[in-house]
Chains A and B, each alone.
Chain A
Amino acid sequence: MDVLLAVLSGFLLAPLAPWLDRRLGKRWGWMWALVPLGLLLFFLRFVPALARGEAFTRRLPWIPRLDVHLSFHLDGLSVLFALLISGIGVFIFLYAACYLEGHPHRGRFFLSLLGFMASMLGLVLADNAIALFVFWELTSLSSYLLIGFEHERERARSAALQALLVTGAGGLALLAGWLLLGQIGGGIELSQWRHQREQLIVHPHAEWALALILLGAFTKSAQFPFHFWLPNAMEAPTPVSAYLHSATMVKAGVYLLARLQPIFGGTELWNATIVPVGAVTLSLGALLAVRQREAKRLLAYSTVSALGVLTLLLGVGTPTAVMAAMVFLLAHALYKAALFLIAGIWDHEMGAREPERLAGLRRTMPITTAAAVLAAASLAGLPPSLGFLSKELFYEALRTAPRWPLLLLANAVLAGMALVAVAGLMGVRPFFGRGPIELQPRHEAPWPLWLGPSLLSLGGTISGLWPASLERMLLNPAITAVLGESVHTHLALWPGLNPVLLLSVLTIVGGIGMYAGRGIVRAPALPSVLARFAPSAAYASLLNGIYVLARLQTRVLQSGHLRYYLLTIIAWTVSIVGYPLVTRADGVALRRPAPEHVLDIGLALIIPLAALAAVRFTSRLAAIATLGVVGYAIALLYMIFGAPDLALTQFMVESLTVILFVLIFYHLPRFTTLSGRWARARDVVVSLLAGGMVSGLVLSILGMSPPDAISEYFVHKSVPEAHGRNVVNVILVDFRALDTLGEITVLALAGLGVYALMRLRVEE
């Protein structure tokens, strides 16, 4: 199988998902997990070669003239991400099939989820910056659809819109940054930029490009001050939160930072921006997490914190920091996805997601309990989990950071304590805690629900116990890809007694204290002061400002009367076309047109007479009929002057217009004269001007010598290149088929609009 096919398989399957899901039915829903499983096996095949230091590229020309290609680059970093996406995807698909069993739109859900998986794979594998951008925006779009999956709820809709606006705006900044970088470097392949570091970073525009790119990365990865969309995105069904909003999509920004490390790593702007942003996000997320009562929001804030950790580490950029980032990336994906899925189990089985409303679940849910304990241990950084290893490395990296080591360490330990408290809330309280047992489950969750969390959290523990092969096969190639040089690392569970271990102990002790005293952290005094200045408030007032502006301009411009719209459009056209016509044309060349035949003269008389009649009639039917005469006469003119395609179209449009009018007649009020004398005089003037303008335009065009290049080209190429002798049609369906594709899409949307308007009226 080819990389291209692997990436696109999700897109190819997605449109079929609603139909396929109906065919699969209730019992075979787990079959969906086979798609990510196949992809996982496919990407695993690359691992041995990557461990030997090889890399793969695959390129398909897309828009060669603009240097845009579907080019994919498989190295340690991209394949690590691809394995996370497909591997966690297996459990998410399995889980979702069961979680949404019986939901009427499960097929639609899988449509979006498959689309997301494919775009995310494309994002991490793409080498071409424009292709990466396209996949980037596609993940935002599929995230929009998935957050708003339960679109009947207002909150889900606004959360989806918020996520789309924030990440979409960041995506546009990213595009601008890419283009700027492309201007500087003279190409838009990431692999090429990596070799141009010296040339790129000294350029005066490089900092602008980096700032724009960072804006994209920070919005996507929910960094302060753009973090607010992520907790709101928890309106999505739980498998989506686990997959997009903790394990994969929000890591796209982090992926981008890692990808750009060889280009911008170590520059002044890089360190000075990323390190503080990551540090603030890290502690803010952790502290806000403890304040939450609802499991998914709690996990969302702790995800914000984790994204801060990754950003901070990539900003520090030393080999230890990059290694810590890669280990943490893996550890976090494993335990956070598991915890989200466990929160989903509570919701699915008990209908409650507040850890403190649940108690004693261990008795009836032994497997879920075991999974939760292992995942929470990894979150808290307890040995022997992978989380412990990554926390040790994290502290070590900060301790040896080139700048502000003490400040960063203190900040990280504080955040670490809060995360230990979060782990207590997620992994201990609901299972071992005592309390009113009104929400007691009667049995363990069904297997597709517990399988994912168990295997993921078990994976986190096993890889903590025996990290050597993981390190050799996955982590080292990834670290090498980020740093651009090969590094040899050594992960060990027992690093010996050192200051970092002491910090770990301090974190855990402090965290237990914070868990016990969480009531104090939750005291609501703080936020009411800060709320007015919170980034989410800024978002809200910005959005509201746009609405106010839209309402204002609607009031000013939209009178609701068709006659004024027509008047405005016609008067405007006359003035902008007429003005240059009068001032700039080299005089109207009154070359005598050809009417010599009796038929021409007859038609030339019929058209104005019919138009005059249409104005004078006081019966609608008569007016329409005379307008029809005008139309048919013009079509005949087309016929005579050799444009049969145009004539045929005109005939059909005239006939259909009559039919539409006949249908509308029954809805119209009686014919009355509404306009006064002045209004009619004004209309006469505008009409005469419009007619005069068009006549003048036609005559002056006749006087010009036509630039013949393009029509000659079409006439000559029509038969040899497009196998057609009707040039008009060949242009429509071959030479300019892209325009036609756009036009029929617009046509379809227009039909949809008319339908919606009519239906809306009927319902009112």
Chain B
Amino acid sequence: MKRRRLEHSSEVHLRNAPLPALEWERASVILGVAVRALLPLLLLFSIFLLLRGHHAPGGGFIGGLVAAAAVALYALAYGATAAQQLLRLSPRGLVAAGLATALASALVGPLTGAPFLTGRWMKVGRLELGTPLLFDVGVFLVVIGVTLWIVLTLAEE
């Protein structure tokens, strides 16, 4: 039920329904409108950076920073509470999930008889998938989580 409401609300932001109230008196309308357009683009871009990282400039760290910056901008425009609702998971949860993901990818090695953190690969058609990508997803999540943890804690005050 909560999930559905959130999906609904994120859709609202992209269509032309009324904006959530700008929380700060000083926040500008320009920023609010710009963020509304930028947020999905930046998030998509961050995933693009994450996925291309293994072959071209990018990767989990940069991608994570882009995503975190996007949500941080949103928090500047609409306040920490609105940003928190947008996230679904708490920043703390993101950090934990990220560390767990990285650790899980590291444990694939020992579970298949190789040392800790050995990269393991498999082919799906022409696509090569490996544990380093999973590891990078972990980095991505930790970076988003830590950055937003700090930003949102500061913004809440």
- Say if the beta carbon of B143 comes within 8 Å of chain A: yes
Residue B48 at the chain A interface, CB threshold 8 Å = no
State whether B117 touches A737 (Cβ < 8 A). yes
Given A737-B106, A741-B117, residue A755 in contact with residue B69 (CB < 8 A): no
B54 and A724 contact, CB distance less than 8 A: yes
Extra A-B contacts (5), CB below 8 Å, given A652-B66, A741-B117 = A648-B62, A663-B76, A726-B56, A733-B136, A734-B132
A729 neighbours in B (Cβ, 8 Å): 53-54, 58-59, 136
Q: Does B39 contact A (CB under 8 A)?
A: no
A747 to B57: give the CA distance in the assembly, Å. 22
With both beta carbons as reference points, the residue of chain B lying nearest to A738 in the complex is identified as B117
* Closest chain A residue, CB of each to CB of B154: A663
Residues of A within 8 A of B49 (CB): 648
Interchain residue pairs A-B with the least CB separation, the first 4: A652-B65, A751-B146, A644-B57, A724-B54
Closest B residue to A647 by CB, please name it: B57
Contact call B139/A740, Cβ cutoff below 8 A: yes
- Provide the bound-state CA to CA distance between A733 and B54, in Å: 9
Instruction: Establish whether residues A726 and B59, one from each chain, have CB atoms under 8 Å apart when the complex forms.
Output: yes
Q: How far is the CB of B25 from chain A (nearest CB, A)?
A: 12
- SS of A interface (majority): helix
> Are B132 and A744 closer than 8 Å at their CB atoms?
no
Residues of A contacting B53 in the complex (Cβ-Cβ under 8 angstroms): 726, 729, 733
A667 CA to B56 CA in the complex, in Å? 41
Taking the closest CB of chain A, its distance from the CB of B157, in whole angstroms, is 7
Looking at B59, B91, B95, B98, the one whose CB has the most chain A CB atoms below 10 A away is B59
Cα A755 to Cα B53 with chains together (Å): 30
Contact B150 A751 (CB under 8 A): yes
CA distance in complex: A444, B139 (Å): 55
Chain B residues near A741: list those with CB within 8 A.
102-103, 106, 117, 135
Known: A648-B57, A732-B59, A762-B157. A723 touches B149 (CB 8 A): no
Our pick among B102, B116, B149 for the contact of A744 (Cβ within 8 Å) is: B102
Contact check, B99 vs A662: say whether CB atoms are below 8 A apart: no
Per the CB 8 Å criterion, the residue count for chain A at the interface is 47
Cα distance A663–B110 in the bound complex, in angstroms? 44
- Contact: A660 with B151, CB < 8 Å? yes
* Residue interface mask B121-157, A partner, CB < 8 A = 1: 1000000101011011011001101110111011101
CB-based contact B143/A747 at 8 Å: yes
Tell me if B40 is interfacial: C-beta within 8 Å of chain A: no
Residues from chain A with Cβ under 8 Å of B47 in the complex: none
Q: Which of B51-98 contact A (CB under 8 A)?
A: 53-62, 65-66, 68-69, 72-73, 76, 91-92, 95, 98
> Are B65 and A726 in contact (CB-based, < 8 A)?
no
Could you tell me if A733 and B76 are in contact, using CB atoms closer than 8 angstroms? no
Q: Is B115 an interface residue (CB 8 A)?
A: yes
Closest to B145 in A: A751
**Min CB distance, B129 to chain A, in Å?**
10
- Residues 738-764 of chain A: 1 if any B CB is under 8 Å from the residue's CB, otherwise 0? 101100110110110011001100100
Residues in chain B near residue A734, CB distance under 8 A: 119, 132, 135
Q: How far is the CA of A732 from the CA of B117 in the complex (A)?
A: 12
Q: Determine the distance from Cα of A754 to Cα of B72 in the docked complex, in whole angstroms.
A: 17
A409 within 8 A of B: no
Residues of A603-660 whose CB lies within 8 A of B: 644-645, 648-649, 652-653, 655-656, 659-660
- Tell me whether A442 is interfacial, beta carbon within 8 Å: no
Q: Are B69 and A655 in contact, with the CB atoms below 8 A?
A: yes
A725 within 8 A of B: yes
**CB of A598 closer than 8 Å to a CB of B:** no
Contacts of B138 in A (CB 8 A): 744
Q: How far is the CA of A758 from the CA of B157 in the complex (A)?
A: 9
B146's partner among A63, A644, A667, A750 (CB-CB below 8 A) is A750
A497 within 8 A of B: no
A63 to B109, CA, bound (A): 13
Measured in the bound complex, the distance between the Cα atoms of B135 and A652 in whole Å is 21
- Asked if A751 and B95 sit within 8 Å, CB to CB, the answer is yes
By beta carbon, the residue of chain B nearest A730 is: B54
Q: Does A676 contact B (CB under 8 A)?
A: no
Whether the pair B61, A732 counts as a contact (CB closer than 8 A) is yes
Task: Write the nearest CB–CB distance from B56 to chain A, whole angstroms.
Answer: 6
Specify the chain A residue showing the minimal Cβ separation from B146.
Answer: A751
**Residue A722 interfacial (CB < 8 Å):** yes
CA distance A644 to B145 in the complex (A): 24
User: What chain B residues lie within 8 Å of A61 (beta carbons)?
Assistant: 115
Q: Chain A residues near B57 (CB, 8 Å)?
A: 644-645, 648, 726, 728
Residue of A62, A663, A725 touching B56 (CB-CB under 8 A) = A725
What does the 1/0 interface line of A250-292 toward B look like (CB < 8 Å)? 0000000000000000000000000000000000000000000
Instruction: Give me 6 A-to-B residue pairs in the complex whose CB atoms sit less than 8 angstroms apart, sorted by A's number.
Output: A648-B58, A652-B66, A723-B130, A733-B139, A745-B99, A751-B149
Residues in A whose Cβ lies below 8 Å from that of B76: 659, 662-663
Instruction: Judge whether A202 is part of the interface by a CB distance below 8 angstroms.
Output: no
Tell me if B154 and A726 are in contact (CB < 8 A).
Answer: no
- Minimum CB–CB distance for B63 against chain A, Å: 9
B62 touching A748 by the CB < 8 A rule? Answer: no
CB pair A755–B142 under 8 Å, yes or no, is no
A306-345 at interface with B (beta carbon < 8 Å): none
- Inside 8 A of A748's CB, which chain B residues have their CB? 95, 98-99, 142, 145-146
A530 within 8 A of B: no
**In the assembled complex, how far is the CB of residue B150 from the closest CB belonging to chain A, in whole angstroms?**
5
Task: Please determine whether B72 and A656 come into contact, CB atoms closer than 8 angstroms.
Answer: yes
A664 part of interface (Cβ distance < 8 Å)? yes
Q: Are B153 and A758 in contact (CB under 8 A)?
A: yes
Question: Which residues from B are CB-within-8-Å of A656?
Answer: 65, 68-69, 72, 147, 151
- Whether A747 contacts B146 by the Cβ 8 Å rule is yes
In the bound complex, CA of A64 to CA of B114 (Å): 11
Contact A754 B132 (CB under 8 A): no
Which residues on the A side are within 8 Å of B135 (C-beta)?
Answer: 733-734, 737, 740-741
Q: How far is the CA of A744 from the CA of B97 in the complex (A)?
A: 12
A728 vs B60: C-alpha distance in the bound complex, in angstroms?
12
Instruction: Please tell me if the beta carbons of B146 and A659 are within 8 angstroms of each other in the complex.
Output: no
Residue among B98, B138, B142, B146 with most chain A CB within 10 A:
B146
- Give the chain A neighbours of B56 by CB distance below 8 A: 725-726
Give min CB distance, B144 to chain A, whole Å: 11
The residues of A that contact B146 with a CB separation of less than 8 Å are 747-748, 750-751
Q: Cβ of A60: which chain B residues have Cβ within 8 Å of it?
A: 110
- Cα-based distance from A62 to B117 in the complex (angstroms): 12
Decide if A724 touches B142 in the complex (CB within 8 Å): no
In this complex, the member of B57, B66, B139, B142 whose beta carbon has the largest number of chain A beta carbons within 10 angstroms is B57
Quick check: B155 and A723 within 8 Å, CB to CB? Answer: no
Say yes or no: B68 contacts A645, CB within 8 Å: no
When C-beta atoms are compared, the residue in chain B nearest to A15 turns out to be B100
A659 touches B151 (CB 8 A): yes
Verify B55–A724 contact, CB threshold 8 A: yes
A532 to chain B, nearest CB (A): 48
- How far is the CB of B23 from the nearest CB of chain A, in Å? 13
Chain A residues with Cβ below 8 Å from B155 are: 663
Residues on B with beta carbons closer than 8 Å to the beta carbon of A725: 54-56
Name the interface residues of A695-724: CB closer than 8 Å to any CB of B: 721-724
Contact residues in A for B98 (Cβ distance below 8 Å): 744, 748
B139: chain A residues at CB < 8 Å are 732-733, 740, 744
Docked pose: A276 CA to B142 CA in angstroms: 54
| Contact with B62, one of A649, A659, A747, A754 (Cβ below 8 angstroms) | A649
Q: How far does the alpha carbon of A165 sit from the alpha carbon of B50 in the complex, in Å? A: 44
A394 → chain B closest CB, angstroms: 45
CA distance A659 to B53 in the complex (A): 25
Give Cα A751 to B151, complex, Å. Answer: 10
**Residue among A60, A644, A729 with the highest chain B CB neighbour number at 10 A:** A729
